[in-house]
Structure 1
């Protein structure tokens, strides 16, 4: 149905007819095309701005944003303060282990465990139990969760029964802690 036929289907006054004619002329004009293009562009820019604003506030106000920051701090390729500190502390652990003395082995295992816990806390695993955190399979590639838990049990044994810790157990625990810290990007 053409516009002419449409107009003829209902009774119109001269004013209504003139109004419909002027609307038809406006919709068919170049000005209308430019106006629609302008409105599309403005709405696209406003939508993009609002989307960026939503993402910004989501990251700033959500725990997810905090976890990203802490993971980035630990795993970034540039040596950060935490990475340097953990690397230095773990070097001391290896030196103590090399002394082959029972007390040094005990201190080395305890210190290695505290290094791992500090790294996990920096990533954002605060407030959870050790076994619960370690059981996250996505964290480990070169060491199993069971070996880390066993190393933690050796650490508990070293704290409570210091005389029963053997050098071989200490070496095994330190090796597990070292692999875990490497998996986290701290060594």
Structure 2
């Protein structure tokens, strides 16, 4: 027998996710065209034909439209790394986990290039993005600590450096990919960034 209440709940969740995505896409377009600071919640609501109150049913703040749904970050990234590091070296596990996120971004490049343009052009969003990376780094460092030899005086410093270096590769790859002509995928750009970190001949 079909559980009607579960089916109805599932449809409602899908409908909510669809509306949330539509609001985010329209907001990102406005932010990209008009500027993030210059675009208000009322502007977004008017463009969508909804009220400001309805907007806040889907997003707690205007920032959450841009930052809240970033694919790469947090507990999910930690779990990806933890699964990969069982069989891979720490650096390759970080690369592999971030590469999975890059593949998801490559599936919708127009939306994510727009997202990164808005972030890179807005100081408050850049700060929020850095904050998210710091939070993710704090989650990843204990995972790395079990596989990277500690410093006898400074403990998990080597693990912190490995994690920070991986995020530096990610940020550099995203910046290059966002401003490039679109001929190179984010996955390939990320591969180049991680390889450059390992290639000692790249340092003169």
Same fold (TM over 0.5): no
Using CA pairs below 8 Å that are at least 6 residues apart, which structure has the higher relative contact order?
Answer: 1
Instruction: Name which one, 1 or 2, has greater alpha-carbon Rg.
Output: 1
Answer 1 or 2: which has greater helix percent. 1
TM-score, normalized by length of structure 1? Answer: 0.28
